[in-house]
Amino acid sequence: MSKELTQITNKFEGEKETQRQLLYIEKAKEYVIGLQKELGHKPTCCVTTFGCQMNARDSEKLAGILELAGYELVEEEDADFVIYNTCTVRDNANQRVYGRLGHLNSLKKKNPHKKIALCGCMMQEPSVIEKIKKSYRFVDLIFGTHNIYKFAELLVAMFEADGMVIDIWEGTDQIVEDLPVERKYPFKSGINIMFGCNNFCSYCIVPYVRGRERSRSPKDIIREIEALVADGVVEIMLLGQNVNSYGKNLEEPMTFAELLMEIEKIEGLERIRFMTSHPKDLSDELILVMKNSKKICRHLHLPLQSGSTRILKEMNRRYTKEQYLALAEKIRREIPDIAITTDIIVGFPGETPEDVDETIDVINKVKYDNAFTFIYSKRTGTPAAAMENQVPEEVVKEGFDRVLKVVQETARERVSLMEGMTLDALVEELNEQDPTLVTARLSNNTIVHFKGDASLIGKIVPVYLKECHGFYYLGEMLTEG
């Protein structure tokens, strides 16, 4: 079979799969109606997300199917169906899930109709499945990251089964399009442009639980964005573990910068974000496209992980301290109003206080607008977990505190540069603490709170940045006239 023909066949298979799943939604609906009669109310469901934006997007897909199947989406975990979409990037993510499962069990004892499901990255680890089978027998359904598109089918299997239903795949090359999605925000949305990761940074479990890198076709991506825009979306976030390597495995290869140029043309779309960029693959072409774009936001998340070339090598990041600094400098030179944010790991095996000094040196030079600092977490099965020179806890803590202090100081310095400016902000929600305020996001991702009401949500408005409070602003909306 020729290559082209194979792709057409795969696409057809994908569409057939979508049809199959839509039929399963119909079938699930019958069970939900039955449940409604027994319960005397519309069955409720709660989707709880752990982890990154990818998981958040996956949860919207789960919610879309649950809603079509007849459930009412709620935020509370005393719902009739609770699903945890889990993360395993660091051990504390896993511990949170185990901790909360105990509570779910006590709720289930009060509501015998309650069903509990677990899915997501943590479920791709065999040791986790063993533990749940042994110690958490009350869970009704478990599936992983590769077969999430089968959720409707698995729901039906759960209703029909006596005991726990478990379906975990080791990998997949399937991308199933056009399944229902229930967005959390009406005006903004994440969009998967690729799945998986091929980088195998030595500390990271993501390539093992999310599988190999696969890009969606530009046609499917653009069609999805156009539909979202027609439905009121003004801001999108393109999602991938390493968006800079988008398109390499497509039948007709395409660069990420080329994809961005196509997306820019979509009328009605106001803002484009993306995450995450691996420094080793960030091209000059991308910098140029960002510079000339009216829609791409002035924000780049560029994970550093470590400022020590020696540690970067051990991490398998494939750039040096000097290369990273040169890249950051080039980006700042070409796009002066851009905000650069980062991720940093402290306590990687063999890291010395001098290595931490190198990281601090990079922070001082780049001056991030924000940085997420993580304590290294040993992930079973990764090369770093087998390294002998794990760093003692007190040494890690000392390094972590030093890094955090510099991050806070430099971020305040960077963010305060905007004081007195008036910039456009997209209003996202009412402020949680003070409902007379709204919370909005600048193009460069900085948050600003100002007086306003719910009618502003989803609108882009000019805001005077009055007071800088570290990572965020208090401002005032400018009204016309």
Q: Which of 63, 66, 206, 228 binds ligand SF4 (CB under 6 A)?
A: 206
Most distant CA pair in the chain: distance in Å? 67
Q: Is 197 in the site for ligand SF4 (CB under 6 A)?
A: yes
Q: Is 286 in the site for ligand F3S (CB under 6 A)?
A: no
The radius of gyration of the chain from alpha carbons, rounded to an integer in Å, stands at 23
Residues between 194 and 223 that touch ligand SAH (CB under 6 A) = 203-204, 206
Count of residues in the chain: 481
Residue closest to 23 by CA, chosen among 155, 186, 162, 193: 155
In angstroms, rounded to a whole number, what is the distance separating the alpha carbons of residues 277 and 342?
Answer: 10
The DSSP code for 372 is E
CB of 201 to ligand SF4, least distance (A): 3
Residues between 87 and 116 that touch ligand SF4 (CB under 6 A) = none
**Count of beta carbons in the 10 Å neighbourhood of residue 407:** 22
Q: Which of 189, 244, 245, 305 binds ligand SAH (CB under 6 A)?
A: 305
- Whichever of 49 and 202 has its CB closer to ligand SF4, that residue is 202
Q: Which two tokens stand for residue 291?
A: 């510079």
Contact letters for ligand F3S, residues 244-263 (x by CB under 6 A): --------------------
Alpha-helix runs per DSSP H in 1-125: 3-39, 53-68, 91-110
Long-range contacts of 397-402 (CB under 8 A, 24+ apart): 398/353, 399/346, 399/347, 399/351, 399/353, 399/356, 400/346, 400/347, 400/373, 400/375, 402/356, 402/360
Which amino acid would we find at residue 89? V
Q: Which residues on neighbouring strands pair with residue 442, listed in sequence order?
A: 425
In angstroms, rounded to a whole number, what is the distance separating the alpha carbons of residues 289 and 405?
Answer: 34
Burial class, 185, CB count within 10 angstroms (exposed 0-12 / middle 13-18 / buried 19+): middle
Contact letters for ligand F3S, residues 201-230 (x by CB under 6 A): -----x--xx--------------------
- Among ligand F3S, ligand SAH, ligand SF4, none, residue 207 binds (CB under 5-8 Å by kind): ligand SF4
Contact letters for ligand SF4, residues 266-305 (x by CB under 6 A): ------------x---------------------------
Q: Which of 172, 192, 377, 446 binds ligand SAH (CB under 6 A)?
A: 377
Contact letters for ligand SAH, residues 384-423 (x by CB under 6 A): ----------------------------------------
Would you say 28 and 152 are in contact if contact means Cβ atoms under 8 Å apart?
Answer: yes
> Does the CA dihedral 263-265-267-271 come out positive or negative?
positive
- Whichever of 51 and 452 has its CB closer to ligand SF4, that residue is 51
- Whichever of 207 and 350 has its CB closer to ligand SF4, that residue is 207
Binding residues for ligand SAH, total number by CB under 6 A: 17
- Among ligand SAH, ligand F3S, ligand SF4, none, residue 377 binds (CB under 5-8 Å by kind): ligand SAH
CA 353 to chain centre: 31
Q: Which of 171, 180, 207, 232 binds ligand SF4 (CB under 6 A)?
A: 207
CA 414 to chain centre: 25
CA distances from 130 to 94, 100, 115, 379 (A): 14, 18, 20, 17
CB of 201 to ligand SAH, least distance (A): 6
Q: Is 372 in the site for ligand SF4 (CB under 6 A)?
A: no
Q: Is 303 in the site for ligand SAH (CB under 6 A)?
A: yes
Q: Which of 49, 242, 244, 255 binds ligand SF4 (CB under 6 A)?
A: 242
Cβ contacts of 152 within 8 Å, gap of 6 or more: 21, 22, 24, 25, 27, 28, 65, 69
- Whichever of 114 and 210 has its CB closer to ligand F3S, that residue is 210
- Give the residue closest to ligand F3S by C-beta: 51
- Give the binding range for ligand F3S (CB under 6 A) out of 7-15, 21-29, 47-55, 232-240: 47-55
Q: Is 199 in the site for ligand SF4 (CB under 6 A)?
A: yes
Residue numbers at the binding site for ligand F3S (CB under 6 A): 51-52, 54-55, 87-89, 121, 206, 209-210
Residue numbers at the binding site for ligand SF4 (CB under 6 A): 197, 199-201, 204, 206-207, 241-242, 278
